[in-house]
Amino acid sequence: MSTLVALALFLIVLGYVVEKYTDDHEEIPIVTVCRLLPDFLNRLLFFMKGPSLIYYGYNKYKNKPFRILKVDADMIVLPTKYLPEVRYLPHTKISLLDAQFNVNLFLSLFQSGLMCRQSVCGNYTNILNDSNLPAHTVAKKMTPSLHRIVPMVIDDLQQAFKMEVPECTDRWVSVNLYSMILKLSNRSTSRVIVGETLCRSEKWLNIILLRPLPRFLRPFAAKLLPSWMMDTADNEYDEKLENIAQGLMIIMALAVLHTSTILITQCIYDLLVRQEYVAPLRHEIMGTLKGGWSNATQACFNAQCLLDSFLHEPQRFHPTSEVNVQRITKESITFSDGPTIPSNTHICFPSGSLSRDPINLPYPNLDPSTFDGFRWCRDPYARNNKLVRTTAANLHFGYGRQVCPDRHFAANTSKAILSRLLVEYDMKFEEGSEARRPMDIRNGEQIMPNFYAKVLIRRTRDEI
């Protein structure tokens, strides 16, 4: 019996080896953990090895497409030379909506949890699928008004710090960092999005915090939801003012809230294991907020070059996804230099790998694998390296028409919260100075901060 089992296993393995190494028609190479393993095992291993597989494929094939075997679908990772072609393909040929909606494993949980709350946020299905107007509204109306919006954020943060940061004057208090930052972000941005009345509604705050979902799913769902709104053509749904308002609330609340929370959390984790950056950051913050934190303006935060540079590095080493500019092909696509992508194929670009390639970094002679918080501000023309700037080498906020529209608001909110935390509070891990940075939570290509890590916080000075 054991001989038959061994023979059967041998034949199965031999079959996979023969199939993989005799397929002369494979136009796009496959990157897996082990070519000898059956595909279903390589797909499962992608859960744990996703970032390293994408990075390996990027370095091996560089200017060529390669294929990744995800659990739910294959994913073709494209080199940036195809960005201009993908950028101008119409929605009839490629779809961001399908990329975010059809290939995500958490969709059923998300639908059963968040979408049941229609009493406050309306018919989510139509908001998500039938309009890209909210994204355009953010980009064209809100971003130019940030100089008026930032003082409102500061005003709400005054109350948020009183409610969400525990009393810790001259004593250490343990807090869940991610949870505290999430609540600060929620209370500080809601008035801008929904007005003074609704922003104080606990029902609204709970919905935007995605409480119907398990904690570990909330950032994944929040990352997906705003993207779904940005992929379909304008139609009669856009003509109804209530639908425009609902859509704007969702894209703003979720995109800004969870984007800011993730970025701030990763930033603080990095600061706690690199204390040498705290003093120069505090010095810059106090120098740019000479009128006091409560009187901070957009111009004050724009002047924080060191902090802006430091925020680059958590985004570079701990991006929310190793790939971005994701699309599903609706029909077969042939690129100018030959490769053909079949219909119904998931395509993307290696945003994480690009940000760690020395050719894309300022001062490429510096080790790209080294965390250098001030890497992005040594250039006298540092304004060209702003966190929110999107290029073919910096795809963390997307690219082209569907770039994240509220990245400027998220960046200002992040700086507002960090400015006060860094100057008025000391923080450290519960384990002390020998503590290691909390490990990220990884799901394939997606990367999230540790949601459960506790830190000690102590207030050391009054408001600046």
Rounded to whole angstroms, the Cα distance separating 292 from 393 reads 36
**DSSP H or E segment with residue 51:** helix 39-61
pLDDT at residue 137 greater than cutoff 80: no
Residue 97 falls within a domain, yes or no?
A: no
Per-residue confidence band for 59, with pLDDT thresholds at 50, 70 and 90:
very high
Per-residue confidence band for 47, with pLDDT thresholds at 50, 70 and 90:
confident
pLDDT digits (tens, 9 = 90+) for 216-257: 555 555 554 444 444 433 444 444 545 545 555 555 555 667
User: Which amino acid is located at 65 in the chain?
Assistant: P
Torsion of CA 104, 52, 397, 314, to 10 degrees: 120
Query: What pLDDT is stored for residue 292 in this prediction?
Result: 92
Q: In sequence order, what are the residues at sequence separation of 6 or more whose Cβ sits closer than 8 angstroms to the Cβ of residue 437?
A: 269, 270, 272, 273
The pTM for the full model equals 0.80
Residue 52 falls within a domain, yes or no?
A: no
Look up the domain containing 273 and give its range: 136-316+403-463
Residue 434 falls within a domain, yes or no?
A: yes
Residue 99 falls within a domain, yes or no?
A: no
How far does Cα 396 stand from its chain's mean position?
7
Residue 76 falls within a domain, yes or no?
A: no
| Residues 312/376, Cβ–Cβ less than 8 Å | yes
Residue 115: Cβ within 10 Å count: 15
Pull the structure tokens for residue 431: 């384990």
Residue 281 falls within a domain, yes or no?
A: yes
Kindly list the strands in the beta sheet with 346-349, ordered across the sheet, starting from the edge strand earlier in the chain.
30-31, 66-69, 74-77, 346-349, 324-329, 94-95
pLDDT digits (tens, 9 = 90+) for 391-413: 888 999 888 877 777 788 889 99
Domain count, the chain: 1
Residue 233 falls within a domain, yes or no?
A: yes
**DSSP H or E segment with residue 188:** helix 177-198
| Cα torsion 427, 430, 433, 439: sign | negative
CATH number at residue 267: 1.10.630.10
Query: What pLDDT is stored for residue 22 in this prediction?
Result: 44
Mean pLDDT value across residues 173-198: 82
Residue 91 falls within a domain, yes or no?
A: no
